[in-house]
Chains A and B, each alone.
Chain A
């Protein structure tokens, strides 16, 4: 485990160059190995199947770097304790941690995901409230399935300032989104992660690596991947269906709108003609009526969900792409090996 983690910290590093260029207060995230282990442990113990586990991240901000030094999990919700007060629990937990001299600054939260499906309204809302209250806060997404396949998947996301604006104004109409020029690509920004361990731990790991057998590693070369792909496709298909529905909805909306525009236009023209006639007869023109009352514009469908779905679809696609490219590589390698033999 430990070795894998070490190795995975390197692929996550290059991502820093893609994200993080924005003028956000956090440009890099440094995570203690302890936090990663704790998150993994939390999922392994409590989450199963498509269930999601969540928890609070604690740490501190150093210049433009967010250091996450500790975390604690949220208990799973059950039907029985509906009156469970999350805030109360958080506060108490942090207070207790402070008593034992652990970093107690709230810097975000983490969540596990099932096949990369995390872009949802709930995530958006809670991340918005976090970021609203604590500017630096991030959400860590942990993908246990991918991790199980051999590469630790841990990603940090923040809402882009644009999206923050929109969320603040709660303006999810097509026009609002258009004005803010928010697309599914720039809803979230990914912040590069660096996993950092103390030197002592590193030494221990080196030591352990020597002792570990090779057998631990060959999972990486596993070729049976159709199950994972199938699942992803299934999810992707569901999203596409949703997207389809939303588009149809939007389609009807815009058709209605244009129809009404036409009606309005006709009405105005008629009114104008009438006025001209009246003028020629020397009568006073008809009073202006409130057009909005006459033509109530159809309610525009909220586009936020569509955006989120699109983001999710994008996410899946990335996943699949990543996964397949990895697998292709493996296949080519296997072929080469076969040929060699």
Chain B
């Protein structure tokens, strides 16, 4: 490299180098070939390289870049690299201490200084330089001057006799590389040297010697097979460094450019290295039998243009190679080496693996190896997509399913295959022998991954397209695979694995309504069923399956997450099938409500789904209050869509960045698992209506009346704001209209608003037991309307006959009786029942509206006085407070009489409110 400086001007040197490039092809090939030829010995002699080599290689690499930068006068780059070099040198300090400062390092320092000085004096050139470069130049110059002070003697020695020191270095290098096994070197020496000499007769002997040395070291390292990837790298790199230093030493030899070229080639991309490695391995596998011409072609192409090898027809094994297990394993490893590297054609890799599988199959290498290859094929199928967000293409997906199926086939057929994640690579047993196969890998992980891929595909398909339906058809296959795996693992897997696969199974079961079981329970079997249905219904009830799987998990699982998910799914399944009490008890027993906020978002979404399903179930069962409570949290936020993982809210778009959005998108539940949001809202609003309207009627004059459901009130207000009230259109309008009717105690209108064609098609028909739900609803409406009526109009009546009420609300007298009795007991209605005449006699102890008003006024005046006193406080400073406190106390003491009157209901109604609410209320008094 120093010759650049000998020539003096940079432009000249560039010219010469470019000239070299043109002419250098032939020697390059030769050079390369010599290396390749020497590969023959690689199998026998290889040794792990020392730390020293590693360090030195690092240094030489850096030096090379610096020299490149010098060539193009890129001072800033030069400076940057130089700083790195200094650091690298410091790092290799202990090695340097042992070995002395390496010559090439000194050489660079000297050259760099010379070069910089030269540039510095060249005023013209400096002017032409851009600002950055000029600045970098001056900094670098100062730096190197300072730095070189430490190496003064060496540099002086070098300058005195550059050639000699270079030689010295050469020898040293040679020693270094050969030091680990000098004796072995001799064997290879003649061959490599000869080959080199043959191709490049004019090269000095020293060069050849060095080269051979370098090669030798490479050979040595190749002796151990297991570490071939590392060694390969080292081998390649020493070649490079070796060739470089040999160039230096050769001075004007043309091979310099060749080396450069080759070097550039290898640097350009790891593809080439990979290729080379592959090639080398292939050769090794091919065991010398490979034709000479073949051998030459390979490197030719590589050097020429860096054409990716994968484009070539993958050539597995040379003709006539005896294909046995180690060879295939080696090949497999070789292919896998490229995995995850930039520039690897993943599709081609999959092809290669497939081909390998076929070869293995053809040669009857046993199931062990086949299983191993299959594992890898599936893994590389998963790897096909570079990022996590993208989903598998349809054909890939199919291939993946097929592969897993095949794998499972093999596993089922061969009982003697052990697979496991914790089987070490070297303890694998792939040979056909009496011993069972041992293969590293985990089917469960693969299947789980497959399941995730399936979810991803569903998430990324437009739910309203035919494509979605087509994709959904694969669900059966996915379930089938999971089922097979389940039966496989039940025999072979550990408890944890079983838990995991059970959870997968549960996840595919919990949200599906079991129509067969439903029908069976209704006793409709055999009425209108096709044969297919009959076939289907032969399977176990999903409830039984769920029960079995979940109970196993409850008992055996040790990770909290799987158990939590299983519980939630179990509850969901119960709720879906209207087993309200089981679902509720399970929910209460699990205490999930207390700590669900600590769970990860997907589990929280599952929890939300479960709560919603539970609420809907409660509604179907007529437990309005429970339904309302269960749905309150989800609905009150107004973000039900987001909370259930069924879509992103638009208004949040500004708040989150693209990254978050991606994460959120990944959490979305696939469309076929969605819970109908309109149904959800309707159920919520109707339950709120059934609770809120009587409550509002009971507390008409209560100043501190609180709302049971904010959302319901919001809807009412929206309804009131309408300037023109047409017949209701949307579900919400229907509910609002019904609420208004109910407020008047008009249950018939209310009924007609809640249950009609529109609402049926929108909401009620979505329930499995539509008719029953509707009947329940009508009854609830009648009852609550009766209550509302009594609250609203009790002040008008002195007494009212239960007979009349029963006729008005079309309820049986006993029901009316029980409702009224309940109201009386709860002190909601100040009345008594007159048994003989079947009438309700009002007590008229309710405060009249005037009294109510007066109470309100008193309250308002209280706060007015308080505010006034605050002003007074401000004026009086601290002294005012004394007097005030007394006064305030007086007001507060006066309040309780209000509570005596009203407290009755508030405490009874406490069931609706949650703890927080009530506390707040009471603190007001």
Enumerate chain A interface residues (CB-CB to B < 8 A). Answer: 226, 229-230, 233-234, 236-237, 240-241, 243-244, 247-248, 250-251, 254-255, 258
What band does the interface of chain B fall in when counting residues whose beta carbon is under 8 Å from A? 10 to 19
Instruction: Assess the A233–B867 pair: CB atoms within 8 A.
Output: no
The contact sample of 24 A-B pairs, CB cut-off 8 A, is: A226-B849, A226-B850, A229-B850, A230-B849, A230-B850, A230-B853, A233-B850, A233-B853, A233-B857, A234-B853, A236-B857, A237-B853, A237-B857, A240-B864, A241-B860, A244-B864, A247-B864, A247-B867, A248-B867, A251-B871, A251-B874, A254-B874, A254-B875, A255-B874
Asked if B264 is an interface residue, CB under 8 A from chain A, the answer is no
- Chain B contacts of A236 at CB under 8 A? 857
Q: Roughly how many angstroms separate A313 CA and B642 CA in the complex, as a whole number?
A: 51
In the bound complex, residues from chain B placing their C-beta under 8 Å from that of A244 are 860, 863-864, 867
Q: How far is the CA of A234 from the CA of B701 in the complex (A)?
A: 12
Complex CA–CA separation, A226 to B850 (angstroms): 7
- B848: chain A residues at CB < 8 Å are 226
Residues of A within 8 Å of B864, CB to CB, are 240, 243-244, 247
- Of chain A, the residue at the smallest CB distance from B861 is A240
Complexed CA–CA distance, A247 and B867 (Å): 7
Question: A19 CB to closest chain B CB, in angstroms?
Answer: 28
- Asked if A251 and B857 sit within 8 Å, CB to CB, the answer is no
A241 to B861, CA, bound (A): 9
Interface residues of B in 871-923 (CB under 8 A from A): 871, 874-875
Given that A230-B849, A234-B853 are known contacts, is A247 also in contact with B868, CB under 8 Å in the complex?
Answer: yes
15 more CB-based (< 8 A) A-B contacts, given A230-B849, A254-B874, A254-B875: A226-B850, A229-B850, A233-B850, A233-B857, A234-B853, A236-B857, A237-B857, A240-B857, A240-B860, A241-B860, A244-B860, A247-B868, A250-B871, A251-B870, A251-B871
Is B792 interfacial (CB-CB < 8 Å)?
A: no
* B861 / chain A contacts, CB cutoff of 8 Å: 240
- B874: which of A230, A241, A258 is its contact (CB, 8 Å)? A258
How far does the alpha carbon of A240 sit from the alpha carbon of B866 in the complex, in Å?
13
Closest to B871 in A: A251
| CB of B854 closer than 8 Å to a CB of A | yes
A229 to B, closest residue via Cβ: B850
Chain B residues 831 to 868 lying within 8 A of chain A, measured CB to CB, are: 848-850, 853-854, 856-857, 860-861, 863-864, 867-868
Q: Which residues of B contact A230 (CB under 8 A)?
A: 849-850, 853
What's the minimum C-beta distance from A246 to chain B, rounded to whole angstroms? Answer: 9
Closest chain-B Cβ to A240's Cβ sits at a distance in Å of 5
Give the complex CA separation of A67 and B857 in angstroms.
41
CB distance from A305 to the nearest CB of B (A): 15
B849 proximity list for chain A (CB < 8 A): 226, 230
Complex Cα gap A248–B866 (Å): 10
Task: Report how far A215 CA is from B848 CA in the complex, Å.
Answer: 31
Which residues of chain B come closer than 8 Å to A254, judged between CB atoms? 871, 874-875
A254 to B870 CA separation, bound complex (whole angstroms): 10
CB distance from B813 to the nearest CB of A (A): 35
In angstroms, how far is the closest chain B Cβ from the Cβ of A227?
A: 9
Look across to chain B and name the residue whose beta carbon is closest to the beta carbon of A236: B857
How far, in whole Å, are A265 and B874 apart by their CA atoms in the complex?
17
Question: Closest CB of chain A to B131's CB: distance in Å?
Answer: 47
Secondary structure of the A contact surface, majority rule: helix
Specify which chain B residues have a CB less than 8 angstroms from the CB of A226 in the assembled complex: 848-850
Contacts of B868 in A (CB 8 A): 247
Provide the residues of chain B in CB contact with A240, threshold 8 Å.
Answer: 857, 860-861, 864
Chain B residue nearest in CB terms to A228: B850
Chain A residue nearest to B848 in the complex (CB): A226
Interface pair A251/B860, CB less than 8 Å apart:
no
- Minimum distance in angstroms from A338 CB to a CB of chain B: 20
Tell me, in angstroms, the Cα distance from A251 to B864 when the chains sit together: 12
When C-beta atoms are compared, the residue in chain B nearest to A234 turns out to be B853
Q: Mark B187-198, 1 if CB is under 8 A from A, else 0.
A: 000000000000
**Chain B proximity of A310: nearest CB distance (Å):** 11
The residue that A251 contacts in the complex, of B856, B863, B867, with Cβ under 8 A, is B867
Chain B residue contacts of A233, Cβ below 8 A: 850, 853-854, 857
Residues of B within 8 A of A248 (CB): 867
Q: Which residues in window 617-674 of B have CB below 8 A to A?
A: none
Bound Cα distance from A243 to B864, whole angstroms: 8
Q: Are B871 and A237 in contact (CB under 8 A)?
A: no
Contact check, B874 vs A237: say whether CB atoms are below 8 A apart. Answer: no
Complex: A201 Cα to B98 Cα, angstroms: 139
Give A246's nearest chain B residue, CB to CB.
B867
Residues in B whose Cβ lies below 8 Å from that of A243: 864
Q: Give the distance in Å from the alpha carbon of A57 to the alpha carbon of B48 in the complex.
A: 120
Top 9 A-B pairs, shortest CB-CB distance: A233-B853, A247-B867, A240-B860, A226-B850, A230-B850, A244-B864, A237-B857, A254-B874, A251-B871
Complex Cα distance A237/B862, Å?
12
The residue of chain B having its C-beta at the shortest distance from the C-beta of A238 within the complex is B860
Q: How far is the CB of A283 from chain B (nearest CB, A)?
A: 38
**Nearest-Cβ distance from residue A17 to partner chain B, whole angstroms:** 31
A240 to B703, CA, bound (A): 15
- Taking the closest CB of chain A, its distance from the CB of B758, in whole angstroms, is 39
* A52 to B234 alpha-carbon distance, docked (Å): 103
Chain B: CB-nearest residue to A255: B874
Q: CA–CA, A240 to B875, complex, Å?
A: 22
Q: Report A313 CB to chain B, min CB distance, Å.
A: 10
CB contact list, B64-88 vs A, under 8 A:
none
CA distance A139 to B875 in the complex (A): 38
Taking CB atoms, residues of chain A closer than 8 Å to B871 are: 247, 250-251, 254
The answer on a CB contact under 8 Å between A237 and B867 is no
In the complex, the chain A residue whose C-beta lies closest to that of B863 is A244
CB closest residue in chain A, given B877: A258
Complex Cα gap A267–B275 (Å): 79
Which residues of chain A have C-beta atoms less than 8 A from B863's C-beta? 244
> What is the bound-complex CA distance between A335 and B675, given in angstroms?
69
User: Chain B's nearest CB lies how many Å from the CB of A123?
Assistant: 24
Closest chain A residue, CB of each to CB of B856: A237
Q: How far is the CA of A255 from the CA of B864 in the complex (A)?
A: 17
B704 to chain A, nearest CB (A): 15
CB nearest neighbor in A for B703: A237
A318 CB to closest chain B CB, in angstroms?
16
Give the docked Cα–Cα distance between A226 and B863 (Å): 25
Give the complex CA separation of A255 and B875 in angstroms: 10
Q: How far is the CA of A234 from the CA of B861 in the complex (A)?
A: 13
In the assembly, what is the distance between CA of A234 and CA of B864, in Å?
16
B-chain residues with CB within 8 Å of residue A237 when the two chains form the complex: 853, 856-857, 860
Q: Report the minimum CB–CB distance from B703 to chain A (whole Å).
A: 10
Which chain B residues lie closer than 8 Å to A241 at the CB level? Answer: 860
B798 to chain A, nearest CB (A): 17
B267 to chain A, nearest CB (A): 68
Write out the residue numbers on chain B whose beta carbons fall within 8 Å of the beta carbon of A251.
867, 870-871, 874
Closest Cβ–Cβ distance, residue A175 to chain B (whole Å): 14
In the complex, what's the smallest C-beta–C-beta distance from B879 to chain A, in angstroms? 15
Given the complex of chains A and B, what is the CA–CA distance between A233 and B861 in angstroms? 12
Proximity string of chain B (226-238) to chain A, C-beta cutoff 8 Å, 1 when within and 0 when not: 0000000000000
CB distance from B880 to the nearest CB of A (A): 13
Nearest A-chain residue to B875, judged by Cβ: A254
Q: Nearest chain B CB to A265's CB is how many angstroms away?
A: 15
Chain A proximity of B338: nearest CB distance (Å) = 72
Q: Which of chain B's residues have a CB closer than 8 A to the CB of A255?
A: 874
Q: Which of B848, B853, B854, B856 has the most CB of A within 10 A?
A: B853
Bound-state CA distance A66–B170 (Å) is 131
B855 smallest CB distance to A (angstroms): 10
Instruction: Find the B residue at minimum CB distance from A257.
Output: B874
B854 — nearest CB in chain A belongs to which residue? A233
Q: Bound complex: CA of A244 vs CA of B860, how far in Å? A: 8
**Closest Cβ of chain B: how far from A119's Cβ, in Å?**
18
